[in-house]
Structure 1
Amino acid sequence: MSVPVALTIAGSDSGGGAGIQADLRTFAFHCVHGTSAITCVTAQNTLGVNRVDPLPVAAVVAQIQAVVTDIGVQATKTGMLLNQEIILAVAQQVTELKITNLVVDPVMVSRTGAQLIDDGAIVCLRDRLIPQATIVTPNRYEAQILSGCQIESLADMQAAAQRIHKLGTPAVLVKGGGMSGDLRGVDVWFDGEQLLSLTTSVVETTNTHGTGCTLAAAIAANLAQGKDLLTAVQKAKDYVTTALNYGLSIGKGQGPVGHFFPLIAHNNRAI
């Protein structure tokens, strides 16, 4: 049985809410076979990250090559790449292996504004990987860094999306999850022609861990299935919104979204 294949190049989340674990669950939900190249291993839970260990660059490259040269992939998503050396190696593999349908989630700054990688890594991501991306999905703070714009309003989000587009990517989705008031749930799309505000309903929940990873993975899954880019984004947003409605109350902190919400709903009815 032939199925679409997607590759995630990202970090491992021991708590299972984000990173590789969230990506593979998202791929599976969309009936896409998930493959992975792990860039780093984190010790984390719902309360936060306690430790991060990068994998050797050669190990990251070997994983990507093993998957692409044998299985082949219809779409690829990048998440936490952690350092300049790994980012450069991934960018080189994208070029050499002619990887297409590349969704870059530029994991540089958390939704709360904490910088996650150093300045050199940010420059490498901006100059070497983003120009090869099919779409880039920065949150508010990442969009500020990539665009040089301070983002406080919808107009700011739109200006940032247009500036990031000039880095060479065909499409940009500036996420509004970190915004307040009426801008919560509003993402800005720009593909060089259409400048759109994509709105979904706001879900009041504290269980939001992994939303950024999940959105990018869902976009990749839809691209792997052959959907056009804007449709892939819209379907991914709908998926994340529904998953937020089934967020998991686990641990003592911020739980993850409910990736397999039909099973959760079915199980609740059975109980």
Structure 2
Amino acid sequence: MVNEFPQVVTIAGSDSDGSAGMQADLHAFFTHQVYGASILTAAVAGNSYGIHAAINLPTDFIDQEFATLAADYHIRAAKTGMLADSTLIRTVVKNLKKYDFGALVVDPVIYTKHGDMLLEEAAFATLRNELVPLATVITPNFFEAQKLAEMQIVTEADTIAAAHKLQDLGAKNVVIKGDHPVGKTDDVRDFILLENQQSFWLADEYVATQRVNGTGDTLSAVITAELAKHTPIAEAIRRAHDYVHLAIEQEIAVAHKYGPINHWAK
């Protein structure tokens, strides 16, 4: 039957070294046995040392990407990644409202894992007010959760309160990835709050490595893949969490500085 095979789409930027962004999403889709399509919003020239150039695609081209996929494919779930400015965010929001691409996983790329802000305040406000309310699942890191919830997170109770604030913004299910300050060597803990108000923590032993590029992209991409296969939301999040831990733990020797995680991990 036409379009019976599960299909997903990543709406994100191209990372030329393949470690993050759209490429990491497509790696994760492939290893989780869904067909991955892509809607390119930007492109960066980067390697393991950093990003050296970037360019946004024209919004009319992005509109055409959405229309072209919607006319031929049956997209069961979608995810967003880095959307650099308000214009790009509004273009994506407009199209997500126009076309039914199933469940939406929002990876709110606002801060790096080290706490450096990637979005200007105007773009952040657009993301918070217009994209987050569309999210079936939102997957902020520690710094992004603080920014979105407009509060400091110090204790586990703070994390729980922040997750509820993200639901108040409209996100149905929330995954807050735990902080890991320099020098900390105990477990990394993520908090999950589901739409039905069930909640739980997921913990894994800290892995001392610089090969962590693409962890956030991959987590959200695996959740997207699992939702397209009709995996229940709690199990989809657990599978994504476990897979990312293995991908960090089972290093591959690629590039020099901040290398990619291992999408072949099992």
TM-score, length-scaled by structure 1: 0.92
Instruction: Give the one of 189, 192, 213 matched to 1:189.
Output: 192
1:186-221 deviations in Å (ceiling 9; x for gaps):
111112512321223332222101000000000000
Contact 2:8 2:36 in 1 (8 A): yes
Q: Distance in 1 between matches of 2:233 and 2:145?
A: 20
Structure 1 residue runs of 5 or longer lacking an equivalent are 263-271
Query: Which residue matches 2:246?
Result: 242
Secondary structure in structure 2 of the residue aligned to 1:10: strand
Query: Which residue matches 1:200?
Result: 204
CA shift at 1:151, angstroms?
A: 1.7
Query: Which residue matches 1:267?
Result: none
Q: Distance in 1 between matches of 2:109 and 2:12?
A: 9
- Equivalenced residue count is 262
Query: Which residue matches 2:127?
Result: 125
TM-score, length-scaled by structure 2: 0.94
Q: Distance in 1 between matches of 2:225 and 2:11?
A: 14
Query: Which residue matches 1:32?
Result: 34
Is 2:99 the partner of 1:97?
A: yes
Secondary structure in structure 2 of the residue aligned to 1:204: coil
Q: CA RMSD in A?
A: 1.6
Secondary structure in structure 2 of the residue aligned to 1:9: strand
Structure 2 residue runs of 5 or longer lacking an equivalent are none
Q: Distance in 1 between matches of 2:26 and 2:127?
A: 23
Q: Distance in 1 between matches of 2:140 and 2:73?
A: 29
Higher helix content, 1 or 2: 1
CA shift at 1:237, angstroms?
A: 0.5
CA shift at 1:249, angstroms?
A: 2.4
Query: Which residue matches 1:107?
Result: 109
Is 2:122 the partner of 1:150?
A: no
Contact 1:154 1:183 in 2 (8 A): no
Secondary structure in structure 1 of the residue aligned to 2:45: strand
Query: Which residue matches 2:70?
Result: 68
CA shift at 1:98, angstroms?
A: 2.7
Query: Which residue matches 1:229?
Result: 233
Query: Which residue matches 1:159?
Result: 161
CA shift at 1:184, angstroms?
A: 4.5
Distance change >3 Å, CA 109–CA 60, structure 1 → 2: same
Secondary structure in structure 2 of the residue aligned to 1:26: helix
Is 2:257 the partner of 1:253?
A: yes
Query: Which residue matches 1:82?
Result: 84
Distance change >3 Å, CA 116–CA 132, structure 1 → 2: same
Instruction: Give the one of 169, 172, 187 matched to 2:171.
Output: 169
